[in-house]
Amino acid sequence: MRVTVSRRSALAGSLALPFLARTGFAANAIPLGAINPLTGAGGAYGPSMAKVAEALVARINRTGGVLGRPIALDVEDDQTNPTVGVEAAHKLIDVGKVVAIVGTWASAVTTAVAPLCWQSRTMLFTVSGADSITRLPHHGYIIRTQPNTHLQSGRAAGFLLQHESKRVFGLSAQTPFAVDSWSRLKEVLAKGGATGIGDIIYDPKQTSFRSEIDKALAAKPDTLFLNSYAPDLEILLRETYQAGFNGKRFTFAYAATDAVLKALPAGVTNGLWSFAPSPDVTSPAYKAVQAILGISDPDPYSCQIYDHVALVALAIAKAGVASGVAIHDNVRKISQGPGQKVSDPVAGLKLLAAGKEINYDGASGPCHFTPIGDILNCKFLFQVVENQHNKTLFIS
Amino acid sequence: MIAAFLQAVVNGALAGSVLALPALGFNTVYAVLRFPNFAVAGLATIGAYAGWVANALWGWPAPAAILAAFVAGGAAGALCDAAALKPLRPLGALAAAIGSVALNIVLENAVRFAFGNNPRGYDLPVFRDWRFGAIGIGPQEVEDAAIALLAMAAVFLLLRTTRIGKAMRAVSDNATLAESKGIDPVRVAWAANILGLGLCGIGGMLVALDTSLDPLTGFRVLLSIFAAAVVGGLGSIPGAVAGAFVVGIGEELSTLVVAPTYRTAMGFLAILIVLSFRPRGLLGERAY
Amino acid sequence: MLDYLVSLSVFAGLYALLALGLNLVWGLGGMVNLGLAGFYSIGAYVSALAALHLHLALPLAALLAALLAGAAGAALAVVTSRLKGDYLAIVTLGFAEVIQLIAANEIWLTNGTDGLSAIPAPGRGKLSPFHFDLAAAATVWIVLALIALGLVRLSRASYGRVLRAIREDETVARVAGKRVLAFKIGAFAVGAAVMGLAGSLYAAYDGYVAPDSFDVLVTVLVVLALTAGGVGNMAGAVLGSALVVALTEGTRFLGGLLPGLSALQVASLRQGAIGFFLLLLLRLRPQGILPERMRVHRLDG
């Protein structure tokens, strides 16, 4: 028994090692956390989000940091699972004492993590789409850069009307916003004289959607509204093509990623419409994200996390203090209002240091927020797939 | 209504044809080594990536890429088994099964480390379905079904006619007796792993062609593979193929009566019903 | 750091409860019941709904959660009474999937994939986050100690001996005049009730439940925890759970040691390392850290 005990404590000792071996950043660094879906169902998005956040932090640190202090970014994987997300948030908040957490993706992770954030006065920046998130009692500690369902679906329906879709069928992944977005879409379509002829909510974990597609096509739609994420969109695009559908297909830009378009033959994806909240296409912030990822067409979440980091840095610079409360109190002072428009966070930091007022317009859009943390009306970028690439149609 | 019914059967058969090959590989391993190897998910993914490297990067045609998938799945599978699972087998099937779950985590993340999460695409065309009146059938899936049936026939012949195949059958029927007759269990284990896990490699590539190629390709179908193997009868070669079709068709038929999101639930109900009447699977546990 | 360790101890305690429930069915009864995510989920949802809509206090909500999860366990035992081994494993895994599907689709009841948030718990909002975590940890570990004590007594009593006899040879047990089915149903029900209780505590601690919280990951972790600790041994179940949480969380700190890798590569190395450590442990301590035999030995001595 004694032997076992000593072995056990040896084991415990070896497990404790990683805790002790933390590599420290500069002692005065501003701690910032990111929780991204690096693995699991959101794995198509997390890695590039982490890359963008790390690159922007590195650039800010190279150019003098914020208030003369570097930012120390700790990226944690939530495995697209709320329990793992909560554990990661505990590590960031309790051990790292981060001032903000950026980039939570899955709505379930964001909702699970949010109370930990507002209770500890840690600012939470999210890309999650569920409308319920900003309705949580968060006391202003949530900023969401993803437009809510009402805004997005309304604009999507407008686009479809403009392109003479008359009979629209929805195929929606089982998500918190599937039902809301379809009812909003149908409502706007009806006003414009078109019909949402039906929708099917599917389980995105399935590996085939043939039956769903058969049912949809049996209703003779001229347009399919694909409310999907990247992995299920790839299957849906292939299977609608196989099923012989020649009508219009419309989806979200976060689903029609570069990687999905490259994974499928051009004939399968040509003509696919998608849309995203729009940056100024000439925006240096958008170009910076393109450069970081080395692709012409970064997904909206990567653009949004760029803005999260930028907003954190600028709000701290504006406040002169690095804390969650400071970010909470100052984020709208640098994101909206009468100040000078900037799209480059480093330029923004310089202006703030010089005592100027700024208005940050980011890689994902103008970054103007309502009191509950939703983005105000913004422009949308509409694009169409040509030869495995998204081509911009227009911004409106 | 009849058209809808027929189409559901066809769709189910197509879904089943994709599952058949990995299920066949799973049962080949089970027949000889008598434990469920859940690392088939990771090995299917490895096969799929090997096929992708051969096809999309090196420009090999489809049959050569399939061969690459077989070799990668079989080699990686047999080596991992020798290193990680073989020492656990004497402790019982359960220890080996749980070890294979841990091994699968390692394999999935090795793929992720090397290739990232972004989906990859083969340099192979996607064909439109053939239409027969109201019924559509996918050429790709018909090909999958043909490959699965061919593989089943090949495994069958191999077990029937070759020396190593006969040795595998002998071990499958009674390992102790086989050993006493001078059959080397180590060689037989290697053969079973290379064959079974190689088939999983091919199966993984076919699954990836039909769904998407990323580090979760195999994991997404793991439960269905296990279900197919169990329904058909663990360790049964034709049972794996039959089980795959039962699971596929059962799930699709259910979409005629319940919301499609409950398809998986109905699949499990079908499994429960089958097992209630045949607790050892449709075709029992003999290799064939 | 202390706050972090306290919150981790809550999760370790919850996994330990799940492992204890699993141990009763699997370790003693020899039935591979992999439906634990389902019972955990039922417990969490029942407790959350009872707290939100019926305004039940946590102890009552937890009791209701345990009762309903136990009933579901008994029902599953009846339905699967003819199945064994891998055949039982697939059906119970399927059960967990079905529960997850119901949680995602029956929006009127469960609020769908949005999940149920703002689940009340004693002290939430009144205590500081650290004190809330301390109270939660104390609650979970006291419950855990009581349940462990109860299960140890149960397993040493004639009930446990019969279960072990059924595990070793069902026919012999039946011939010996034991009502095998009743014992099996009982074990399933008690095991599921413990898991449901864990779910209730989880819902109260996190304040939020969603279908994604109950995916196959939790089953994998708990099965590995029980195997690592020692199947058949209650103390092993607890130790294994602590070990698994130490592994999954400890590996979070490895990233800083690996400069030059992308976040994705660090994440895959982290998970790969978890798998590797567990394989190593299975190899070195195949019966778990605290094998069942050791406990028996200590009893004899």
pLDDT digits (tens, 9 = 90+) for B187-217: 999 999 999 999 999 999 999 998 899 999 9
C129 part of contact set with chain B, CB < 8 Å = no
- Residue B168 is assigned to a structural domain of this protein: no
Q: B113 and C79 in contact by Cβ < 8 A?
A: no
For chain A, where do the domains classified as CATH 3.40.50.2300 start and end?
28-148+284-360, 150-276+379-395
Number of domains in chain B: 1
B245 part of contact set with chain C, CB < 8 Å = no
| Chain B: partners with 3+ C-beta pairs within 8 Å | A, C
Instruction: State the best of C116, C215, C251 to mutate against chain A, taking most chain A CBs within 10 Å.
Output: C215
Contacts of A234 in chain B (CB under 8 A): 119, 211-212
Nearest CA in chain B to C30: B94
What pLDDT is recorded for position A292? 96
Chain CA centroid to CA B222, Å: 9
Q: Which amino acid does the sequence have at C160?
A: G
Q: C117 and A116 in contact by Cβ < 8 A?
A: no
User: What are φ and ψ of residue B284, in 5° steps?
Assistant: 75, -175
**pLDDT confidence bin for B288, thresholds 50/70/90:** low
Residues A129-173: pLDDT tens digits? Answer: 889 999 999 999 999 999 988 889 999 999 999 999 999 999 999
**pLDDT confidence bin for C301, thresholds 50/70/90:** very low
Facing residues of A100 across strands? A123
CA–CA distance, B264 with C114 (Å, rounded to integer): 21
To which H or E segment does residue A384 belong? strand A380-386
C279 part of contact set with chain B, CB < 8 Å = yes
CA–CA distance, C51 with C71 (Å, rounded to integer): 20
CA–CA distance, C174 with C256 (Å, rounded to integer): 58
Q: C264 and A1 in contact by Cβ < 8 A?
A: no
CA–CA distance, A62 with C236 (Å, rounded to integer): 50
Residues B107-130: pLDDT tens digits? Answer: 999 999 999 999 999 999 999 999
Q: Where are the alpha helices (DSSP H) in A120-218?
A: 149-162, 178-191, 210-218
Q: Distance from first CA to last CA of chain C, Å, rounded?
A: 41
What pLDDT is recorded for position C166? 87
What pLDDT is recorded for position A280? 67
CA–CA distance, A281 with C14 (Å, rounded to integer): 49
- Nearby residues of C72 by Cβ (< 8 Å), 6 or more positions away: C38, C39, C42, C192, C196
Contact (Cβ atoms closer than 8 angstroms) between residue C257 and residue C265: no
- What mean pLDDT comes out for the span C168-179? 84
- Residue C244 is assigned to a structural domain of this protein: no
CA–CA distance, B225 with B222 (Å, rounded to integer): 5
What pLDDT is recorded for position A67? 95
3-class DSSP assignment, residue A197: strand
B20 part of contact set with chain A, CB < 8 Å = no
C256 part of contact set with chain A, CB < 8 Å = yes
Nearest to A41 by CA among A3, A95, A79, A88: A79
- What mean pLDDT comes out for the span B180-193? 92
Number of domains in chain C: 1
Contacts of C208 in chain A (CB under 8 A): 82, 108, 111-112, 115
pLDDT of residue A214 exceeding 70, the answer is: yes
Size of interface A-C (CB pairs under 8 A): 145
CA–CA distance, A297 with A101 (Å, rounded to integer): 25
Shortest distance between the Cα of B164 and any Cα of chain C, in A, equals 27
Contacts of B136 in chain A (CB under 8 A): 214, 242-244
Shortest distance between the Cα of A263 and any Cα of chain B, in A, equals 3
- Residue B13 is assigned to a structural domain of this protein: yes
Q: C115 and A111 in contact by Cβ < 8 A?
A: yes
**pLDDT confidence bin for C155, thresholds 50/70/90:** confident
Contacts of C79 in chain B (CB under 8 A): 272, 276
Nearest CB neighbour to C94, from listed B88, B106, B271: B271
Nearest CB neighbour to C86, from listed B36, B84, B215: B36
C87 part of contact set with chain B, CB < 8 Å = yes
Strands B130-132 and B135-137: antiparallel
In terms of average pLDDT, the best of A270-284, B142-156, C87-101 is: C87-101
Residues C64-111: pLDDT tens digits? Answer: 999 999 999 999 999 998 898 888 998 999 999 999 999 999 999 999
CA–CA distance, B234 with A63 (Å, rounded to integer): 63
Whole-number mean pLDDT of chain A?
Answer: 90
Q: A119 and C113 in contact by Cβ < 8 A?
A: no
Contact (Cβ atoms closer than 8 angstroms) between residue A304 and residue A328: no
User: Can you say whether residue A378 is alpha, beta or left, with left for phi > 0 and alpha for psi between -120 and 50 degrees?
Assistant: beta
Nearest to A269 by CA among A250, A254, A295: A250
Nearest to A366 by CA among A326, A332, A325: A332
Instruction: Please count the helices (runs of H) and the strands (runs of E) in chain B.
Output: 11, 2
Give how far Cα A381 sits from Cα of A146, A173, A215, A378, A385, Å: 14, 22, 31, 10, 13
pTM, 2 dp: 0.92
Q: B259 and A201 in contact by Cβ < 8 A?
A: yes
Residues A246-269: pLDDT tens digits? Answer: 999 999 999 999 999 999 999 999
User: What are φ and ψ of residue C57, in 5° steps?
Assistant: -70, 160
Nearest CB neighbour to C267, from listed A38, A74, A90: A38
Contacts of A75 in chain C (CB under 8 A): 255, 263, 266
CA–CA distance, B222 with A256 (Å, rounded to integer): 26
Cβ burial of B180 (10 Å; 0-12, 13-18, 19+) is: exposed
- Residue B156 is assigned to a structural domain of this protein: no
Nearest CB neighbour to C263, from listed A51, A90, A179: A51
- Residue C230 is assigned to a structural domain of this protein: no
Nearest CA in chain C to A79: C267
Whole-number mean pLDDT of chain C?
Answer: 91
What pLDDT is recorded for position A19? 39
**pLDDT confidence bin for C46, thresholds 50/70/90:** very high
- Residue C116 is assigned to a structural domain of this protein: yes
Nearest CB neighbour to C257, from listed A21, A39, A87: A21
- Residue C15 is assigned to a structural domain of this protein: yes
CA–CA distance, C286 with B196 (Å, rounded to integer): 26
Please give the structure tokens belonging to residue B141. 């899936």
- What mean pLDDT comes out for the span A24-53? 90
- Which residues form the domain of B65? 2-146+180-277
**Per-residue DSSP letter, C139:** H
What pLDDT is recorded for position C276? 94
Q: B279-283, C50-54, C192-196: which range is least confident on average? A: B279-283
| Residue carrying structure tokens 């009307």 | A161
- Residue C285 is assigned to a structural domain of this protein: no
CA–CA distance, B102 with A76 (Å, rounded to integer): 22
> What's the sign of the alpha-carbon dihedral C280, C282, C284, C289?
positive
Contacts of B211 in chain A (CB under 8 A): 207-208, 234-235
Q: Which CATH architecture has domain A150-276+379-395?
A: 3-Layer(aba) Sandwich (3.40)
3-class DSSP assignment, residue C51: helix
**Per-residue DSSP letter, A143:** E
- Residue B42 is assigned to a structural domain of this protein: yes
Instruction: State the best of B57, B210, B211 to mutate against chain A, taking most chain A CBs within 10 Å.
Output: B211
Q: What percent of chain A has pLDDT over 90?
A: 79
Of the candidate CATH numbers 3.30.160.100, 3.40.50.2300, 3.40.50.720, 3.40.50.10540, the domain formed by A28-148+284-360 belongs to 3.40.50.2300
| Residue carrying structure tokens 């034709």 | B238
pLDDT of residue C294 exceeding 80, the answer is: no
Q: Which amino acid does the sequence have at A306?
A: Y
CA–CA distance, B160 with B239 (Å, rounded to integer): 17
- Residue C87 is assigned to a structural domain of this protein: yes
Shortest distance between the Cα of A337 and any Cα of chain C, in A, equals 33
